Each structure stands twice: as structure tokens, then as C-alpha cells.
Amino acid sequence: MKLKKANAEIFIPDNKPVDEAIERTTHLAISAHQDDIEIMAHDGILQCFGRDDKWFTAVVVTNGAGSPRDDIYANFTDEDMQKIRKLEQKKAAFVGEYAAAMLLDYTSSEVKDKNNKDVVEELKTIISKAKPKVIYTHNLADKHDTHVSTVLRVIKAIRELPKEDRPEKLYGCEVWRNLDWVNDEEKVSFDVSAHPNIASALVEVFDSQICGCKIYYLATIGRRRANATYAASHGVDEATSLIYAMDLTPLIEDTQLDIKEYVLGFINRFANDVSQKLDKF
């Protein structure tokens, strides 16, 4: 298997041949940027960690150019930043024992261009090769434009595949907006309490994103901890760390389902919940 872009890369931590490495995938995550996957798709990483019957593959769509930089990275050019961010993604793939990390190297504007067919075609090739049971990606209510574009490209790619090549589940996860607001009965909760050291290390390796700017590892681990504690007001916490997701599976089972109406449905049901409580008391 070969990727379209000249500087795209497939990194395989255990040096298996490329096809074999990708075909063993059971859990796949597709993100806009390096480090998004470790923030949002830790459930998939954890399900496959230390096992030889389940394998996690990371697909990063953009090249990571244009990210903020400080400290030892302050004078880095966009080209230097792309190199360091690729290296950091490979470090995470090694620590997390991924089957493969695929760095597709598109620009943000290519991903945001709804007429660009390359991203969708490449995602189709990857998904039909990997045939994962589960795909994690961004949620449709994320506030980052490239994240929203990425999930739209992912849904389009899966919808264009024959049914037998589609995953059983598609989850939209938290990065640039929490999903705590989704009504409890329709929220997907992933218990990611195990191996807290790995969870932290996986976000900590992205030094160029953290250094002098943002403490992503504390924020990410803190959000999961807060999700677990604030999940229910009565009773004791069963999990110490929870990630929330929006179930996007209906959108890949029914290709006629309107994407905007689908996500607005979650928001409207949340509005009704707030409204009903106010009427009740």
C-alpha cells in the first residue's frame, strides 16, 4: 500500500511488512492533526494495548503546519514543525503499540475544501484495506474547522464504500469541545481507567504542542477524570477516567440521513432536557 502525497509516511513500530501491519487493524482512528488521536481515541488504543488479537491504527490527515510554537521550537519553520510533529506521532505509536501510524500529509486547506476528492479517496483506500470494526474520529459539534472537515470527509468516505467494507461502529470523540452536554441516555462512555501512565505518556510525547503553550496532558487527563466524577450525582465512581463520544454509526448505516439534522438532533434533545427541568421545578 502506498499513500498519495510525496511526503506521506506509514510508520510501523514493530517493523512488520506494510500490508500485513495494516490488515491486522481492528480499531482505527482518523484525526485532523498529530496528537488528536491520543486525546480522543484512547479507548481504541487501550483496547488493543498489550494484545495480539486486536490492533490499533492511527491515521493523521494533515501535515501539522502552522501550529503555534515556543521555547526550543520558537524559531522553527513550518517545515521544521511538520518534521517534529511527525516524529512525535511516531513516538506515540511506539509507546501505544500501534499496528501502524499513517501520516497523510494534506494541508488544512485541502481537507477543508469540500470539492477535494483526494482526501476522501485516500480514506476509502485505507478503510477498505484495514477493514476495522471500529472507527474513532472527531465529533460533529467540535469547534475546530479542520476537525469538522475531517469528520465530514470520513463519513463521506465510509458512505461511498460497499457495506461489507464499512466499520460496525463510528464514534465522534472529544477534542476541541467536550461532550458532557449530550443527554446521558444517548452519550457513549468509554471507560479508560486502565494504564493511566500510558494515557499520560501518549499525550506528553507531543512536546512541540505543549512546550510553553498548552499543558494538553493535564487538560486531557483532567477532562477524563471530570467526566468520571461528574457522570452521576448519586453513587460512587466506578471509573476514574471516562471519554465521551457521539455515536455516528446511524450516518454510515443510512447514507440518506442528513448529517446536519443528525447533530442538531442531539442539541435539540439537550435543549428539551434543560427546558423540561425548568418547567418541572
Binding range to Zn ion, per CB under 5 A, among 30-38, 125-133, 155-163, 268-276: 30-38
**Residues pairing with 181 in the sheet:** none
- Taking alpha carbons only, the member of 154, 117, 127 closest to residue 40 is 154
Pick the closer one to Zn ion by CB: 26 or 108. 108
What order of strands is seen across the sheet that includes strand 100-106?
9-11, 100-106, 56-62, 27-31, 134-138, 169-173, 242-247, 188-191
Q: Does 88 bind Zn ion (CB under 5 A)?
A: no
Binding range to Zn ion, per CB under 5 A, among 7-15, 33-41, 45-53, 54-62: 33-41
- Taking alpha carbons only, the member of 266, 35, 53 closest to residue 146 is 35
Number of residues that bind Zn ion (CB under 5 A): 3
Instruction: Specify the residue for cell string 500529509.
Output: 105
Note the Cα 38 to chain centre separation in Å. 7
Pick the closer one to Zn ion by CB: 26 or 150. 150
Residue nearest Zn ion, Cβ-based: 33
The minimum distance between CB 142 and Zn ion, in angstroms, equals 9
Binding range to Zn ion, per CB under 5 A, among 6-14, 19-27, 35-43, 217-225: 35-43
Q: Does 33 bind Zn ion (CB under 5 A)?
A: yes
Q: Does 36 bind Zn ion (CB under 5 A)?
A: yes
Residue in 10, 30, 32, 120 binding Zn ion, rule: CB under 5 A: 32
- Cβ-in-10-Å burial (0-12, 13-18, 19+) of 105 comes to buried
Q: Where on the chain is the footprint of Zn ion (CB under 5 A)?
A: 32-33, 36
